[in-house]
Amino acid sequence: MVIVEDAGFIAFVEFITVHLGGVSLTIPKREKLRQDIIALAEEYRRRVRKCIASGCLYYSITCDIWTARTAKSYISLTNHYVDEEFTPKNWTLEVRLFPGIHDGTTISAMITRILEEWSLPKRFCVKLLRDSGANVVAASKKLNIEHMACIAHSLHLVVAGALIKKSKTASGNVIPEWAEDVAAESSTNVAEREEEATLSKEDRAEIEGLQELAIDEVGEFLDSTIAGLHRNEMDSLRTIVQNFRTLAVYFRKSSKGNNRLGAIQIQHFNIKPENVLSPIVDCPTRWNSCWKMLDQLIALEAPLMKFFAHLKQPEGRKEFKDMEKKLRRPKPEEWFSIKCLQKLLGPFATASDTLGGQTYLTTPLILPVLSGIRKHLERVDLFDVLAAEAGDEEFVFDTTFMMNECRKAMLTLFDKRFRALEESELK
């Protein structure tokens, strides 16, 4: 709300109202704005209560608990039901501070309290969707409510073993050689991800803390699941993915580099300006974001190769001083690796999108989706077509072997995560 007192914002509002529109507008003060938001929130709560009272009998709930970078913990509870018109409804009832120890007793007590505050009888709750933490499992048992793990989150843990970046502690948080050159382009520190561009420094730090927690969770899952040999193969693949991630970050942060890449697409590949692509950067807490990042980079392979060729030309060396030495060019075997990875993870991306649907029931889709993924991971010929297209290059055999080892590792991860689920919670 501090924006209403920002000099630039005030000048902008005055320009579009007084100078362009010919009207006078008084910007409300922060306290008035705060009061209006509280009043609107109370009115919204009243309407949600009315909807639940009139249309909700049997329902399910989703519970999530997390700790922010500030060490404050929060709990959220979302209500799901089908109304009298058979229309799926869901409301996030609470996002509440949750201090203290988070054991089964305190979690179950908090969930019970929220349900009572919203006049939702616990006996009509048919399912609780949770994460896989032992404390939330214990809470579900204390509540005496049928419960299951979030399938999409479990799928994310499986694929993140190959995709997600290493934690800052493990990777040493190495600063790319091109960082100073990019910083000199602008006085503004560009966010790695477009959606974070408007956030404050504090908010970005908060998000970074949550991302590190997600990375640590994946690391723990890998350590407890797959053998050392397969872990080595997965780590090698993660290093390759990290190289491409660093490349995507460069184009995100460097307007000069991104503009040149766009110009190459227009001049050499007859791409219309409105259809020009830019590399995107993934987020560890968002399902499928890394797959989408790699998919975009594969689509840009030819323009990217033209860009690196440009860096070797006199005009390119003048435009991007020493960038030829600082920006790492992907090797052919690395391009082949991420194309195989795209093939390997395609069904996971489709499954996550399907199971994340909001307008249809997803539970009946779980078993068919898991069965399809298992059959996909069991295919020993999964990369044969890509290998044939790559030709007789020396790297093809070794890279195909590495990718098959990663496929086996992911099948192990998949079994670990879903075998018991298929045999118990879904039957």
Which carries the bigger pLDDT value, residue 88 or residue 189? 88
CB contact at 8 A, 249 and 281: yes
Which carries the bigger pLDDT value, residue 159 or residue 15? 15
Cα dihedral 86→154→372→334 (10° resolution): 130
Q: How far is CA 315 from CA 185, 194, 330, in A?
A: 18, 30, 22
Within 8 A by CB and 6+ apart from 250, the residues are: 176, 178, 182, 257, 327
How far is C-alpha 163 from the chain's CA centre?
11
For position 166, what pLDDT does the model report?
A: 53
For position 227, what pLDDT does the model report?
A: 55
**In the chain, which residues fall in CATH 3.30.420.40?**
56-149
**Domain topology for 56-149:** Nucleotidyltransferase; domain 5 (3.30.420)
Q: What is the DSSP letter of 29?
A: P
Q: How many residues does the chain have?
A: 427
Element (H, E) at 51: helix 30-55
Q: Does residue 93 sit in helix, strand or coil?
A: strand
Mean pLDDT confidence for 103-123: 96
Q: Give the whole-angstrom CA distance, residue 46 versus residue 119.
A: 13
Neighbours of 19 (CB within 10 A): 8
The pLDDT tens digits for 239-286 are 999 999 999 999 999 999 999 999 999 999 999 999 999 999 987 767
Q: What is the percentage of the chain residues whose pLDDT exceeds 90? A: 52
| 255-269 vs 301-312: helix crossing angle, rounded to 10 | 110
Residue 283 structure tokens: 């987020």
Q: Give the whole-angstrom CA distance, residue 71 versus residue 75.
A: 13
CB contact at 8 A, 416 and 356: no
The pLDDT tens digits for 334-355 are 999 999 999 999 999 899 888 8
Residue (of 336, 324, 351, 232) closest to 294 by Cα position: 336
Neighbours of 223 (CB within 10 A): 9
Mean pLDDT confidence for 127-148: 91
State the pLDDT confidence band at 169, using cuts at 50, 70 and 90: very low
State the pLDDT confidence band at 213, using cuts at 50, 70 and 90: low
Neighbours of 339 (CB within 10 A): 19
State the pLDDT confidence band at 204, using cuts at 50, 70 and 90: low
For position 80, what pLDDT does the model report?
A: 94
Q: How far is CA 308 from CA 313, 328, 333, 396, in A?
A: 9, 9, 17, 23
Asked whether residue 304 carries a pLDDT value surpassing 80, the answer given is yes
Q: Which residue has the tokens 């006085």?
A: 187
Mean pLDDT confidence for 163-192: 61
Asked whether residue 153 carries a pLDDT value surpassing 60, the answer given is yes
For position 364, what pLDDT does the model report?
A: 86
State the pLDDT confidence band at 158, using cuts at 50, 70 and 90: confident
For position 254, what pLDDT does the model report?
A: 93
Which carries the bigger pLDDT value, residue 303 or residue 210? 303
> What are the φ/ψ torsions at residue 25 (nearest 5 degrees)?
-135, 130
The most confident of 131-145, 193-207, 357-371, by mean pLDDT: 131-145
Asked whether residue 187 carries a pLDDT value surpassing 60, the answer given is no
Please spell the DSSP secondary structure of 142-180, one letter per residue: HHT--EEE-HHHHHHHHHHHHHSPPPHHHH--PPPTTHH
Torsion sign over Cα 240, 241, 247, 249: negative
Which residue type occupies 293?
A: M
CB contact at 8 A, 353 and 288: yes
How far is C-alpha 364 from the chain's CA centre?
25
133 HSE (CA, 13 A, CB side): 14
Average pLDDT score over the chain: 85
For position 170, what pLDDT does the model report?
A: 47
Q: Give the whole-angstrom CA distance, residue 304 versus residue 69.
A: 37
Asked whether residue 389 carries a pLDDT value surpassing 90, the answer given is yes
Asked whether residue 223 carries a pLDDT value surpassing 70, the answer given is no
Q: Give the whole-angstrom CA distance, residue 295 versus residue 291.
A: 6
Neighbours of 131 (CB within 10 A): 18
Q: Give the whole-angstrom CA distance, residue 59 versus residue 208.
A: 34
Mean pLDDT confidence for 16-25: 86
For position 124, what pLDDT does the model report?
A: 97
Which carries the bigger pLDDT value, residue 383 or residue 358? 383
First to last CA, the chain: 49
For position 378, what pLDDT does the model report?
A: 96
149 HSE (CA, 13 A, CB side): 20
For position 356, what pLDDT does the model report?
A: 81
Q: What is the percentage of the chain residues whose pLDDT exceeds 70? A: 82
Asked whether residue 147 carries a pLDDT value surpassing 70, the answer given is yes
Asked whether residue 292 carries a pLDDT value surpassing 80, the answer given is yes
Asked whether residue 216 carries a pLDDT value surpassing 50, the answer given is yes
Mean pLDDT confidence for 295-319: 96
